[in-house]
Amino acid sequence: MSDAMRFTLTLTQQQDYEFRVRFDGPHVPELLLDEPPPLGRGAGPNAARLVAAAVANCLSASLLFCLRKFRQTPGTLQAEVTGTLRRNARGRSRIGGLDVTIRLAETAQALSHLDRCLGQFEDFCVVTESVRQGIPVAVRVVDASGTEVLGTGATPRGD
């Protein structure tokens, strides 16, 4: 028996570069994707922004899961992700790197087992660990006092 899980999304062109995405969940709303001007109208996020959002979401959810596993109530997490677009050797635009900062609502001292979670949450993030096969991802976690409790660097790819 295979442990592979499949999912299917349907994208339908609406006009120009706008595509409506239908997800496979019964209660998941549709999403409109579009390229920013001058190519599109910017009526929705483009694919690069979805990749960035997926990485930040997966990291945040993974950290939250770990903290809750240890019966912590970490409050509301906030994540910010900055993507960098670069040209490769052939002049094609690529995501050159993603920098994610997750902000905790509590101080590090208020969260038991935070060190353990910080040591493992990235490894359980399906999206980030998949994306890291081709795109560098740097992750920082900052607590409510502004103290950086985790920082991992990434070197942007220039190819």
Q: Provide the residue type at 96 as one letter.
A: G
∠ CA 98-13-9, nearest 5°, is: 60
Strand ranges across the sheet with 31-33: 10-15, 18-22, 31-33
Per-residue model confidence (pLDDT) at position 104: 97
pTM metric for this prediction: 0.88
Per-residue model confidence (pLDDT) at position 4: 87
Two tokens, residue 107: 């101080």
Per-residue pLDDT in tens (0 to 9) along the chain, 159 residues:
578 889 999 999 999 999 999 999 889 999 999 999 999 999 999 999 999 999 999 999 999 999 999 999 999 999 999 999 999 999 999 999 999 999 999 999 999 999 999 999 999 999 999 999 999 999 999 999 999 999 865 444 344
